[in-house]
């Protein structure tokens, strides 16, 4: 895919005009995935999360229900329950302070450029996030129009774990890295009896990030998904209904200037 293809696809989906809603990008080698999953499961067992349903949480506006927990790996404080800088669109000064305690997870996080956040998100049985729309496009400090892109790596999932994107309902398979367009109206639900755990991270769409996601950058332990396998098909469609929405940062006219951006 060319840069233009990707930018137009991301923009179209964020404007609810089809486009690139969800794409399977990379498969994690089985041994590496097993080590990452073991670290994530140990982290969820031993470390203090933030509770998304509590007043003041940065994600509470999405109307979470049931048990929704988050561990923020990338921060300036080093605390896993510190969500204060998750969505500030800055890469500066953030680190995974506990990387040495979770080496497979730390190595995976270190492999991605221009990270804004990295989160372990857990939905308990019969829990989820209600329909909501975020904004992918933003005005950079330099005044250009850039994008923040979101990736998911399902760690623990089941048939009842679903992700809705503009009415298409998807099931994301464990061990595969997906691009998920959070400019779509989206919702997450875990209808199963065991926790659904995803590793989720946002990056600024720089040239280096484009090369990792869609180009030919060398990514040890990761195999690119090609052809029809890269285009997940919804398991069903449903009406979107009412949803919460964050106000856009740029106008439709300004969005035409979307380009790869620089880290900030």
Give tens-digit pLDDT for 145-168.
Answer: 999 999 999 999 999 999 999 999
pLDDT (0 to 100) of residue 214: 95
- Grouping H, G, I as helix, E, B as strand and the rest as coil, residue 123 is strand
**pLDDT confidence of residue 69:** 98
Whether residue 34 is contained in a domain is answered as: yes
Averaged pLDDT of the chain: 97
- We report the CATH number of the domain holding residue 199 as 2.60.120.330
Report the domain count for the chain: 1
Q: What is the domain extent for residue 69? A: 3-75+94-255
pLDDT at 241: 93
Tokens matching residue 131: 């329909």
Whole-Å CA distances, 95 to 14, 44, 118, 197, 259: 29, 19, 10, 22, 26
User: Does residue 264 fall inside a structural domain?
Assistant: no
Q: Is the pTM of this model over 0.75?
A: yes
pLDDT band at 191 (very low <50, low <70, confident <90, very high): very high
| pLDDT tens, residue by residue, 209-256 | 999 999 989 999 999 999 999 999 999 999 999 999 999 999 999 999
- Asked if residue 262 is part of any domain, the answer here is no
- The answer as to whether 83 is a domain residue is no
What is the pLDDT, as a whole number, of residue 151? Answer: 98
Mean pLDDT for 58-80 is 97
Alpha-carbon gap, residue 136 to 260, rounded angstroms: 13
């Amino acid at each position: 895919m060319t840069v233009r293809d990707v930018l137009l696809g991301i923009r179209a989906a964020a404007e609810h005009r089809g486009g690139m809603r969800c794409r399977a990008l990379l498969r994690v080698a089985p041994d590496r995935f097993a080590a990452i999953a073991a670290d994530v499961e140990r982290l969820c067992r031993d470390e203090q999360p933030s509770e998304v349903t509590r007043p003041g949480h940065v994600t509470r506006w999405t109307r979470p229900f049931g048990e929704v927990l988050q561990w923020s790996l990338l921060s300036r404080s080093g605390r896993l329950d510190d969500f204060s800088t998750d969505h500030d669109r800055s890469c500066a000064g953030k680190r995974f302070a506990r990387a040495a305690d979770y080496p497979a997870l730390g190595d995976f996080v270190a492999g991605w450029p221009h990270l804004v956040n990295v989160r372990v998100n857990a939905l308990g049985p019969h829990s989820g996030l209600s329909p909501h729309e975020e904004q992918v496009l933003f005005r950079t400090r330099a005044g250009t129009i850039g994008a923040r892109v979101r990736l998911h790596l399902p760690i623990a999932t089941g048939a009842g774990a679903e992700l809705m994107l503009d009415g298409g309902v998807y099931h994301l398979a464990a061990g595969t890295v997906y691009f998920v367009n959070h400019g779509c109206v989206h919702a997450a639900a875990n209808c199963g009896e065991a926790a659904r755990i995803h590793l989720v991270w946002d990056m600024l769409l720089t040239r280096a990030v484009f090369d990792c996601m869609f180009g030919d950058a060398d990514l040890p332990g990761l195999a690119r998904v090609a052809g029809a396998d890269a285009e997940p098909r919804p398991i069903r469609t449903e009406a979107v209904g009412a949803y919460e929405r964050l106000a856009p940062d740029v106008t439709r006219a300004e969005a035409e200037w979307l380009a790869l951006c620089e880290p900030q």
